[in-house]
């Protein structure tokens, strides 16, 4: 995960590289448990003496596999293929399962950095990072950032260093 070394500019180094917070996987995990339990119960309660019991079990299995793919595997792939990388020169957001999208925000173009956390997010240590850049996009919200306070503080420090012309604390 993160930017490969050949994508970094001279003197640029990776400070943080991470996926969205694991809380995004709670819903898909619960869906996995629910689908497996429901399909197991459905297959178990189909009577053996029923004329179409084999077809009914196959139908339950097919519906279960489709539900598992849509409710668990696809959200997991989205989580796994979403990456945030904070370097000494930029903040990069990479997303995409089949096609890839990458946004780079040069730290020199960042005007302000702030964060929001609900009570549950405070307990989990995640939150929403708000980055205001000098572009047409204005304020950009990045949800479910893990270790939000550390990321916000490091991003703010790097933005301050970039505005002072200091790179990497030198």
- Residues 44-62 have pLDDT tens digits of 999 988 889 999 999 999 9
Burial class (CB in 10 A: 0-12, 13-18, 19+), 84: buried
- How high is the pLDDT of residue 73? 97
- Residue-averaged pLDDT of the chain: 90
Q: Does an H or E element contain 85, and which?
A: strand 83-87
Q: Is the pLDDT of residue 100 over 80?
A: yes
Q: Which two tokens stand for residue 65?
A: 């596999």
């Amino acid at each position: 995960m993160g930017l490969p070394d050949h994508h970094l500019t001279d003197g640029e180094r990776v400070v943080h590289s991470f996926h969205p917070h694991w809380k995004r996987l709670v819903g898909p995990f619960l869906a996995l448990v629910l689908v497996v339990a429901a399909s197991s119960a459905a297959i178990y309660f189909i009577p053996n003496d029923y004329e179409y019991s084999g077809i009914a079990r196959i139908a339950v299995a097919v519906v279960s596999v489709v539900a598992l793919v849509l409710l668990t595997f696809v959200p997991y792939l989205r989580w796994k293929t979403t990456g945030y990388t904070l370097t000494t020169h930029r903040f990069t957001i990479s997303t995409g399962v089949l096609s890839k999208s990458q946004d780079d925000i040069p730290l020199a173009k960042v005007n302000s950095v702030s964060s929001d956390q609900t009570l549950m997010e405070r307990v989990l240590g995640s939150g929403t990072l708000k980055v205001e850049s000098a572009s047409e996009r204005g304020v950009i919200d990045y949800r479910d950032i893990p270790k939000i306070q550390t990321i916000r503080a490091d991003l703010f420090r790097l933005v301050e260093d970039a505005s002072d012309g200091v790179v990497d604390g030198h």
